[in-house]
Structure 1
Amino acid sequence: METKNAVGRRKTSIARVYITPGNGAILINNRELKTYFLSEIHQTTVKQPLAATKLEGQYDVTINVEGGGIKGQAEAIRLGIARALVRISEENRAALKTDNLLTRDSRMVERKKFGRAKARKRFQFSKR
């Protein structure tokens, strides 16, 4: 089986995911998972699609991720891995869909508007 790839996005993070049959190594920007994401929560987030489909340890995952913060990157990677697993086998779709791992979280930062302090906050009003 050849390499399958997919793209995951979250906020301003973009993750390009490449999956090949292997022994479960996860490389993010040429660094190991545990050295890139120090938090156990983010490591679990990244592994979620593999755990849901019971494919941990069967595929090597190589990821290039850029933009955003740590949490956004972890969630972008999660979506990318889930999409790549569906490309490998359509049977994985049901398990991933029940855990809501194939849904792109569309929430983005709202832009600042002119005449306002922030996106929605107004400047202090003074009557006199």
Structure 2
Amino acid sequence: MDRINTIGRRKTSVARIYMTSGKGVITVNDKDLNVYFPSEILQTIVKQPLAKVEQDGNFDISVNVTGGGPAGQAEAARLAIARALTEVDAEFRSPLKSEGFLTRDSRMVERKKPGRRKARRRFQFSKR
């Protein structure tokens, strides 16, 4: 199997992954997955597509992720891994799609508006 290159986005995070057949080593920005994402929940999020199609330990994955926070980065990596798995085998598409791993979550932070404290929060009103 050649090297598969896919991209995933979530909020302001962009994850580019390179997947090759191997022993299941996942590196994120040249660090081990457990070091980059110390939280067990975020590690699980990244591995979800592999676990769903029972391919955990069959692929070496190198992730380059920029922007956003840890949760957005983990979910961007999840989308990229799910897309790469569909390129490996078309039969993986159905279980991944049913779980929602192939859907780009388009929700973004709403911008701050002028005359307001935040996007929707107004300044405190004083009657007198």
Q: Same fold (TM over 0.5)?
A: yes
Q: What residue in structure 2 maps to residue 108 of structure 1?
A: 108
Q: What residue in structure 2 maps to residue 29 of structure 1?
A: 29
| TM-score, length-scaled by structure 2 | 0.96
Q: What residue in structure 2 maps to residue 94 of structure 1?
A: 94
Q: How does 1:7-22 map to 2 (within 5 A)?
A: 7-22=7-22
CA-atom RMSD in angstroms: 0.9
The total of aligned residue pairs comes to 128
- Per-residue deviation at 1:113? 0.5
Amino acid corresponding to residue 43 of structure 1 in structure 2:
Q
Give ranges in structure 2 of 5+ residues lacking alignment.
none
Amino acid corresponding to residue 12 of structure 1 in structure 2:
T
Identity in percent: 60
Amino acid corresponding to residue 88 of structure 1 in structure 2:
V
Q: What residue in structure 2 maps to residue 82 of structure 1?
A: 82
Q: How does 1:50-89 map to 2 (within 5 A)?
A: 50-89=50-89
**In structure 2, distance between residues paired with 1:48 and 1:58:** 14
3-state DSSP of counterpart to 1:74? helix
- Per-residue deviation at 1:87? 1.4
- Per-residue deviation at 1:118? 0.8
Amino acid corresponding to residue 88 of structure 2 in structure 1:
I
Amino acid corresponding to residue 104 of structure 1 in structure 2:
R
**In structure 2, distance between residues paired with 1:115 and 1:12:** 25
Q: What residue in structure 2 maps to residue 44 of structure 1?
A: 44
**In structure 1, distance between residues paired with 2:38 and 2:126:** 48
Quick check: 71-80 or 116-125, which moved more?
116-125
| TM-score, length-scaled by structure 1 | 0.96
3-state DSSP of counterpart to 1:127? coil
- Per-residue deviation at 1:88? 1.5
Amino acid corresponding to residue 40 of structure 1 in structure 2:
E
Amino acid corresponding to residue 26 of structure 1 in structure 2:
I
